[in-house]
Amino acid sequence: MKALLIFDSYFGNTKMIAETIAKELGKDTKAISVSDFNMKELEGVDLLVAGSPIIGWKPSEKMGNFLTSIGRDQLKGLKAATFDTRVKIFHGDAAKKISQKLIEAGAEIVGKPQAFFVKGKEGPLVDGEIEKAIKWAKSIKIKTEQND
């Protein structure tokens, strides 16, 4: 299974979660900042994972720009999963919003959008979130492989 993980990160927390997920998905997984993403990166990819911090109750501006650049049905046949990083006291759900945009682009969501929590605005991650990321990555890997 070839996977691509696209993320945006302000303080390094989302990047840490992204890299943990990518490692768990296996050697054919690449994690890349949304700033460095090129549509050619999607060639041959079976699974797309996208993650962003919640900024103003939605995905970051860079992630939002990426999502609006994807055309309808451009991701047809691609499996996808999404996550966000957030502070527990804030409301908003960037992961769910990212999932909706990927669905509109034709992707099939293979896992429930996942939230990972940080302490305060800049982090660090709440204890146990890396382990939660590993468990979530294993579950989306299984779901992707079962659906092939």
**Mean pLDDT over all residues of the chain?**
94
Whole-structure pTM value: 0.95
How much is the pLDDT for 41? 93
Q: For position 148, what pLDDT does the model report?
A: 62
Q: What domains appear along the chain, each with residue ranges and CATH number?
A: 3-146 (3.40.50.360)
Q: What pLDDT score was predicted for residue 6?
A: 98
Using the predicted structure, report yes or no on whether residue 90 has a pLDDT greater than 70: no
Mean pLDDT of 90-107: 91
Mean local confidence (pLDDT), 60-83: 95
pLDDT digits (tens, 9 = 90+) for 4-17: 999 999 999 999 99
**Does the pLDDT value for residue 56 go beyond 90?**
no
3-state secondary structure the chain: CCEEEEECCCCCHHHHHHHHHHHHHCCCEEEEEHHHCCHHHHCCCCEEEEEEEEECCEECHHHHHHHHHCCCCCCCCCEEEEEEEEECCCCCCHHHHHHHHHHHCCCEECCCCEEEEECCCCCCECCCHHHHHHHHHHHHHHHHHHCC
